Amino acid sequence: MLKTGITSKMFYRSGGSYGTPTWTEVSIINDLTQNATAQEAEANDRSSPVNKSVITSIDLNWTGTMKKDLSATWTALYEALLEGATLDCLFLDGGSTTNNTTGYRADVQVFDVTEDQGRNTRLYNSVKFMPTESDNPVKAVLVTAGALTYATVTGTTLSYA
């Protein structure tokens, strides 16, 4: 199945509970990039002159641009930055009921809402979402039979439930 960026979706929990969320799509997102970068530690020994490394942890975050339209969605994301609030979010490469869609669910904080106010610029905000300390672990998401299934990201394999 061909995947394209325009079909990707971001949602935040606007109501309900963690177990039974009410998701609101963030349709004002223009561009969004998922960044997953491994951190490394040296793993050298004298068996080889080649430097070796091992993965120790993963930096996971999402950066992009969102239209500044003062909608309820824009306000919720902007106020999350100002208040230091945590948002329960889904970042998916397709629709939330489209089979074989994958992505992540994470409690995030908004770390950037930069605004280019150039004279010939439509106002967009550059945004950055990063997982934050929470009782809920970051989970990988797979849509199966039209429903979200989750797997905890443990650094080994993913087992969706």
Question: Which pLDDT value is given to residue 159?
Answer: 61
Question: Which pLDDT value is given to residue 1?
Answer: 63
Q: What is the pLDDT of residues 82-115, one digit of tens each?
A: 999 999 999 999 999 999 999 999 999 999 999 9
Q: What is the pLDDT of residues 106-116, one digit of tens each?
A: 999 999 999 99
Whether pLDDT at 117 is above 90: yes
Whether pLDDT at 138 is above 80: yes
Alpha helices in 16-89 (DSSP H): 72-83
Question: Which pLDDT value is given to residue 3?
Answer: 83
Question: Which pLDDT value is given to residue 161?
Answer: 56
Mean pLDDT of the chain: 92
Q: Looking at residues 14-43, what average pLDDT do you find?
A: 94
Handedness of CA 117, 123, 126, 131 (dihedral sign): positive
